[in-house]
Amino acid sequence: MLSADFSKKKSLRKFGEFYFGYSGLESPTFGKVEMAQVDHPIRILGFLGLGKRGTMFVNLDAFNDDFTVKGFDYSGLTSKGFSERTFNMARIFEHEFFGHIIQRRFDPGVGELKPGKVEFMPNLFRTEMGLPLRSNYGVSTIRGLVVLFGINADEVKRVVYDHRKMPTVPYVLKSNLKN
């Protein structure tokens, strides 16, 4: 239960369900959820059910002991004075829970290169914490997933279409894994 002020049914309707665990998580609504795939390292998923109730699955296999996401090169953040915690389980939780479940936003369409409405509230949190704003939703490239921070949508487009400009971006998070 997510709130002592509400019954379980009302709390689920208002805040959604959480499933924390390892590979092979199961829920009554979705059954078995297979999430341990090496080529898809981020495994906190928020689903909106038919009744608009959100269900969130957190696969702990996808995280290192310090709760950073496995499979990412953090040097594009740490070289600029930020820690690896700039993009860890807490930041992903904010995206999935507040962006997808509480605000009930869906993933942006293919080709959407800005953070969109899913990142609105998480970027407010980043502002308050002094962290760089997430500039895009995450772009899947031939070299892996790239998440850019600290630039506007036009700059994101320029970088995505010309990877030689990647070093000019203030903060970059790159996947160590190939898609």
Res. 110: pLDDT tops 90: no
3-state secondary structure 162-173: CHHHHHHCCEEE
DSSP state of 6: S
DSSP letter string over 124-144? HHHHHHTPPPB-SS-EEETTE
Query: Are 159 and 141 contacting, i.e. CB atoms less than 8 angstroms apart?
Result: no
* Interstrand relation of 171-175 and 144-149 (parallel, antiparallel or unpaired): antiparallel
pTM of the predicted model as reported, rounded to 2 decimal places: 0.75
**What is the tens place of the pLDDT at every residue in 64-95?**
888 888 888 889 899 999 988 888 888 988 88
Mean pLDDT of the chain: 76
* Interstrand relation of 72-73 and 54-59 (parallel, antiparallel or unpaired): unpaired
Identify the helix (H) or strand (E) that includes residue 78: helix 75-78
